[in-house]
């Protein structure tokens, strides 16, 4: 999404940034504590200040003759995630 100046055709812009998301497995019999988290490896190390999830919403007015008519352009970006699902946690999956 390119930089968009706030004008009459783009009345507002909202950005939601989430740096880190984890779903933890607290079952006593489970060997792995993290059920879902951001994937990182030696080949693809985790960036220190990168956001795991970003949601950008730009409201636009397609027709200036009807200023109350607005549309919303949404862009969602998610870093690679890893899911650890074992047989013990299987019944709790959605």
- Interatomic CA distance for residues 43 and 79, integer angstroms: 15
Q: Which residue has the tokens 């409201």?
A: 59
Are 8 and 64 in contact, with CB atoms under 8 Å apart?
yes
For the chain, what are the domain ranges? 12-83
- Interatomic CA distance for residues 60 and 72, integer angstroms: 6
- Interatomic CA distance for residues 51 and 56, integer angstroms: 13
Cα angle: 51, vertex 31, 90; to 5 degrees: 80
- Interatomic CA distance for residues 9 and 59, integer angstroms: 8
Q: What is the pLDDT of residues 1-30, one digit of tens each?
A: 555 555 567 788 999 999 988 888 777 777
- Interatomic CA distance for residues 33 and 24, integer angstroms: 6
Q: What is the pLDDT of residues 40-86, one digit of tens each?
A: 888 888 888 889 999 999 988 888 787 778 889 999 999 988 887 76
The token pair at 60 is 């636009």
């Amino acid at each position: 999404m390119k930089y968009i100046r706030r004008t009459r055709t783009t009345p507002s812009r909202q950005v939601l940034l989430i740096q880190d998301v984890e779903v933890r497995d607290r079952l006593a019999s489970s060997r792995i504590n993290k059920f879902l988290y951001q994937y990182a490896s030696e080949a693809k190390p985790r960036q220190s200040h990168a956001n795991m999830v970003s949601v950008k919403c730009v409201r636009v007015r397609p027709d200036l003759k009807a200023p109350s008519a607005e549309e919303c352009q949404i862009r969602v970006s998610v870093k690679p995630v890893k899911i650890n699902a074992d047989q013990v946690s299987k019944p709790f999956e959605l």
